[in-house]
């Protein structure tokens, strides 16, 4: 008995709703951009500077009381959020206190942190501070730069590699799909105001890595089928390729999602935002490989004579040796 999520032989027409799906993707990208620009991202201290203090107490968190206690300290923008997690016991009440970067200070001084801790201890004597993190505006500015640079570098490097191994149309298709994934993730983070920090950038790059992985597997099959079926229209060859790789796409996305959902539920609140970004990215990444990358290649067309081994494209090192 076998578990078959996908029938042995499929012949779905993936291009049937081509205009609708592609249009929906474009609309989603525009919406993400609008939300991103209008609502903005909820930057963590990595990118904005400031201090976060994690509090833990046996008593219930009273956000109002915390806020009132910190009011007289004149710290500017202070945000207090309670943290919930299934792994917390009944007497574990956790909150995150975030303080903006103070004027004229590179990192928040010990006095400020001590004052905050003392004020919170007044409210709740059993409170402890499992972590205190503080980043100065100088470093956070550089981190923003490095992050933007990293995402851009990844996109360019991948575009170049795909162009080397396939054709330029494929590399455009792949990178547009990656843009789509990154933009949709940023849009989601803006919409729900999930904290966006250095780990989120790592998640974005992971999404880029996974999504391109998925795209390349299908492209590889398209390349193979283009050689096999020289006369078939491009659209049919692509549809066939997607159908042939569908079972693998579902299996791999399936195992990856299984692992990520386990981590999302059980991995603790510290990395939840990070894992959530990757999980979401796997879903949109799988979708975009089929519905964005392929549509772009179809629109741009590609050369049909793949019999000559090399035409600006790279070498094929897919020969087995073991």
Site for other proteins in 119-138 (CB under 8 A): 128-136, 138
3-state secondary structure (DSSP) of residue 101: coil
Pick one of 208, 292, 297, 298: the residue that binds other proteins (CB under 8 A). Answer: 208
Pick one of 99, 177, 205, 240: the residue that binds other proteins (CB under 8 A). Answer: 205
Q: CB under 8 A: which stretch of 96-104, 180-188, 217-225, 304-312 binds other proteins?
A: 217-225
Alpha helices in the chain (DSSP H): 18-38, 45-48, 63-70, 110-123, 137-165, 168-191, 198-228, 234-266, 272-288, 294-300
3 binds other proteins (CB under 8 A): yes
169 binds other proteins (CB under 8 A): no
Pick one of 80, 99, 101, 158: the residue that binds other proteins (CB under 8 A). Answer: 158
Q: Are 299 and 238 in contact (CB under 8 A)?
A: no
Cα 244 from Cα 241, distance rounded (Å):
5
244-273 residues in contact with other proteins (CB under 8 A) are 244-245, 247-248, 251-252, 254-260, 262-263, 265-268, 270-271
209 binds other proteins (CB under 8 A): yes
Cα 57 from Cα 93, distance rounded (Å):
5
Residue 97: phi and psi, rounded to 5, are -110, 125
27 binds other proteins (CB under 8 A): no
20 binds other proteins (CB under 8 A): no
Q: Are 203 and 277 in contact (CB under 8 A)?
A: yes
240 binds other proteins (CB under 8 A): no
Q: Could you please report the per-residue DSSP string of 242-279? A: HHHHHHHHHHHHHHHHHHHHHHHHHS-STTHHHHHHHH
85-114 residues in contact with other proteins (CB under 8 A) are 87, 106-108, 110, 113
Judged by CB, which is closer to other proteins: 158, or 172? 158
281-320 residues in contact with other proteins (CB under 8 A) are 316-320
Judged by CB, which is closer to other proteins: 68, or 259? 259
Tokens of 152: 């851009």
CA 264, 276, 15, 177 torsion-angle sign: negative
């Amino acid at each position: 008995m076998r578990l078959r999520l996908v029938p042995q032989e499929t012949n779905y027409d993936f291009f049937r709703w081509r205009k609708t799906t592609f249009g929906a993707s474009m609309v989603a990208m525009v919406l993400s951009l609008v939300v991103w620009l209008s609502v903005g991202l909820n930057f963590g201290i990595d990118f904005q500077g400031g201090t976060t203090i994690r509090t833990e107490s046996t008593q219930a968190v009273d956000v109002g009381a915390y806020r009132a206690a910190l009011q007289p300290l004149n710290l500017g923008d202070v945000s207090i959020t309670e943290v919930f997690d299934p792994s917390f016991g009944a007497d574990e009440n956790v909150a995150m206190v975030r303080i903006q970067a103070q004027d004229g200070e590179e990192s928040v001084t010990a006095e400020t942190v001590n004052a905050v801790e003392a004020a919170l201890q007044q409210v709740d004597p059993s409170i402890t501070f499992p972590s205190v993190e503080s980043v100065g505006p100088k470093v956070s500015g550089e981190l923003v730069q490095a992050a933007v640079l990293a995402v851009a570098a990844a996109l360019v490097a991948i575009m170049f590699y795909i162009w080397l191994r396939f054709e330029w149309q494929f590399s455009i298709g792949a990178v547009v799909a990656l843009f789509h994934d990154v933009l949709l993730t940023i849009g989601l983070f803006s919409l729900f105001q999930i904290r966006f920090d250095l780990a989120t950038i790592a998640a974005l790059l992971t999404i880029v890595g996974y999504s391109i992985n998925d795209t390349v597997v299908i492209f590889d099959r398209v390349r193979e089928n283009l050689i096999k079926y020289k006369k078939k229209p491009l659209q049919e060859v692509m549809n066939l390729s997607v159908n042939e790789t569908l079972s693998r796409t579902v299996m791999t996305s399936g195992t990856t999602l299984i692992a990520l959902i386990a981590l999302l539920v059980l991995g603790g609140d510290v990395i939840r935002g990070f894992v959530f970004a990757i999980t979401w990215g796997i879903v949109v990444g799988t979708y975009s490989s089929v519905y964005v990358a392929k549509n772009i290649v179809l629109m741009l067309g590609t050369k049909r004579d793949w019999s000559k081994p090399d035409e600006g494209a790279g070498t094929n090192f897919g020969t087995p040796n073991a």
